Homo-oligomer: A and B are copies of this chain.
């Protein structure tokens, strides 16, 4: 079996100029970055305003397991399959973060014959968007510490600076640091932390901005900490929104590449799926909708996190209504949700599937709660037995759930034809209306409870003392009408990652809130959330090399 990078390196890519021309764009609408990448212009979306919108297909999944579900691969394969069916489809994905690429083997650009390319570039520096976000984030940090050092007119309390520095790196040693040591010429000492770049509020802001002016408006509102009197201090107070917007001007432009079958793909933005909303940018999704009949896009983690936030946060902010949802599952992952360990996945086990399928059932109910049509996609693995597949098909039929087998890793678009046909039928069926889980006018506590009960199936929420006082404080500061962005383990519906399948009779502990006022949501932490990953015993970086004939090896 060929590796992803071998398949990638054997693929003949079209010059990006051809991809762009096929989309009907002219010279002023784009800029090349190398021969196979492009950035679309800032004004393109506005220029396309009068064009009709293509249909948005949202790809989500059951709760992820160590078995792997292949959500990105299905997303890419579905786009390719739609093209085979003469629908002009465009894929819209998130940009991978470089940090994890150095840590654990495995990129984030699909796989097999359903990849976005050039995968080496996409997984490394790409067009520099994440580097621009790192720079903007850390420019703000430098301006904050410089302000404190030079008289602190705003009376920022160094103990209440909430703005972390960031690096696009897995770097455990930066999780908790002290900066400003060394005496009067080296600033004011204070505790600080580095997060990974995708956890920066600037990433969320960039992904939710409608245009450059909206980006600036949101940057302005970011709260970087509090004064000694506990008043919020904003980017506007520091007069820094202009510089940050200048630094992000190019990063706001969506990136265009292609798949292994030359289907256009817009890859842009990649916020964390726990402390942020986990979807690619509004500009990318909307531009793709203007340029194609279909946009296939994905949200992070399972439907309880990614899809919930896509629909309650991104759809609301961007006026994006999916015409159909695909829920990805695998036989292997359903077995794990039925309690089987990773080492036993190759043994046939229909009983485990019968139990694990309850996880899928909850996510189906979740999508139904939003009033959206959906198809379940079973992403085939070579180890799946006929009996297991038959059981799952039977279960879907009994429960009146539309299901399609896909085999896009091995067969590209051809492996997703059945799924594509079913998605088209749903998307072109009677129009539906997206029903949000909560109303923005509800109090924050009510919004959190609605998500916990409707989406997770919890009995109730349990607020910590800290969270309770923050709720009062945030409502008082006028942030009560913002949507909530839940940070919960992705591995289970409850906040205990070991509760696979469909737990019942549980409550959700609400530990702490964080205000992402620029992103326009309140982050709700339901447990310890690590915003800076570490490297494993043997980092993937150590496998990478450049051979004597200057070829990259060991990258996936």
Identify the stretch in A87-95, A165-173, A302-310, A446-454 within 8 Å (CB) of chain B at 4 or more residues: A165-173
**Cross-chain contact of A131 among B135, B174, B537, B543 (Cβ < 8 A):** B135
Checking B150, B174, B245, B543 against A545 with a beta-carbon cut-off of 8 angstroms, the contacting residue is B245
Using A242-B545, A242-B554 as known contacts, say yes or no to A178 and B180 having CB atoms under 8 A apart: no
Residue of B39, B167, B173, B242 near A187 (CB, 8 A) is B173
Tell me whether B187 and A246 are in contact (CB under 8 A). no
Closest to A211 in B: B550
Residue A21 CB within 8 A of the other chain? no
Interface residues of A in 242-287 (CB under 8 A from B): 242-243, 245-247, 249-250
Is the CB of A539 closer than 8 A to any CB of chain B?
yes
What residue of chain B has the Cβ atom nearest to residue A32's Cβ?
B32
Docked CA distance A395–B180 (Å): 51
* A240 within 8 Å of B (CB atoms): yes
Asked whether any CB of chain B lies closer than 8 Å to the CB of A378, the reply is no
Which chain A residues (20-68) contact chain B, with CB distance < 8 Å?
31-35, 39, 42-43
Q: How far is the CB of A225 from chain B (nearest CB, A)?
A: 14
A142 touches B (CB below 8 Å): yes
The yes or no answer to A154 lying at the interface (CB within 8 A) is no
Closest chain B residue to A16, Cβ basis: B32
A354 within 8 A of B: no
Instruction: Determine if A1 is an interface residue (Cβ-Cβ < 8 Å).
Output: no
Closest to A212 in B: B550
Output the least CB separation between A528 and chain B (Å): 10
- Which residues of chain A in 429-482 are interfacial with respect to chain B, using CB atoms and an 8 Å cutoff? none
Known: A187-B173, A212-B550. A544 touches B243 (CB 8 A): yes
On whether A171 and B141 interact (CB within 8 A), knowing A131-B135, A181-B178, A542-B239, the answer reads yes
Determine the residue in chain B with the shortest Cβ distance to A181.
Answer: B176
How many identical chains are in the complex? 2
Identity of the chain B residue whose Cβ is nearest the Cβ of A189 in the assembled complex:
B173
Q: Which of A239, A539, A548 has the most CB of B within 10 A?
A: A539
- When chains A and B are docked, how far (Å) is the Cα of A43 from the Cα of B124? 21
> Is B250 in contact with A541, judged by CB distance below 8 angstroms?
no
Report if A246-B172 is in contact (Cβ < 8 Å); known contacts: A139-B541, A240-B542.
no
Tell me, in angstroms, the Cα distance from A243 to B550 when the chains sit together. 13
Tell me what chain A mostly uses at the interface: helix, strand, loop, or mixed: mixed
- Check A546/B216 contact, CB under 8 A, given A124-B246, A176-B181, A178-B181: yes
Bits for A220-254, please: 1 = Cβ < 8 Å to B, else 0: 00000000000000000001101101110110000
Indicate whether A498 reaches chain B with its CB closer than 8 angstroms.
Answer: no
Q: Does A407 contact B (CB under 8 A)?
A: no
A535 adjacent to B146 (CB under 8 Å): yes
* Contact bitstring A156-196, B, C-beta under 8 A = 1, else 0: 00000000000111111111111111100111101000000
Q: Which of A35, A98, A138 gathers most chain B CB within 10 Å?
A: A138
Asked if A520 is at the interface of the complex by the 8 Å CB criterion, the answer is no
Contact: B124 with A550, CB < 8 Å?
Answer: no
Residue of B128, B145, B171, B246 touching A555 (CB-CB under 8 A): B246
Contact check, B132 vs A146: say whether CB atoms are below 8 A apart: no
Instruction: Answer whether residue A552 sits at the interface, using C-beta atoms and an 8 A cutoff.
Output: yes
Which residues in chain A, 103-136, are within 8 Å of chain B measured between CB atoms?
A: 124-125, 128, 131-132, 134-135
Q: Which of B32, B149, B170, B172 contacts A172 (CB 8 A)?
A: B149
A529 at the interface (CB under 8 A from B): no
Query: Would you call A175 and B187 a contact (CB within 8 A)?
Result: yes
Interface code A195-211, partner B: CB below 8 Å = 1, 0 otherwise? 00000000000000000
Chain B residues with Cβ below 8 Å from A216 are: 546
A399 CB–B CB distance under 8 Å: no
User: Given A33-B33, A143-B535, A535-B146, does the pair A541, B243 have CB atoms closer than 8 Å?
Assistant: yes
Q: Which of B43, B169, B181, B544 contacts A246 (CB 8 A)?
A: B544
CB–CB B169/A176 < 8 A: no
Residues of B within 8 A of A376 (CB): none
Using CB atoms, name the residue of chain B closest to A172: B187
Check A138 against B541 for contact (C-beta < 8 Å): no
- A530-544 contacts to B (CB < 8 Å): 534-535, 537, 539, 541-544
Q: List 19 A-B contacts (CB under 8 A).
A: A31-B35, A32-B35, A33-B34, A102-B243, A124-B246, A125-B132, A125-B135, A142-B169, A142-B172, A145-B171, A146-B535, A149-B172, A172-B180, A176-B180, A176-B181, A213-B550, A240-B542, A243-B545, A249-B552
Known pairs A124-B247, A149-B172 / 5 extra A-B pairs, C-beta < 8 Å = A173-B190, A176-B181, A212-B550, A213-B548, A243-B541
Instruction: List chain A positions with a Cβ less than 8 A from chain B.
Output: 31-35, 39, 42-43, 98, 102, 124-125, 128, 131-132, 134-135, 138-139, 141-143, 145-146, 149-150, 167-182, 185-188, 190, 212-213, 216, 239-240, 242-243, 245-247, 249-250, 534-535, 537, 539, 541-546, 548, 550, 552, 554-555
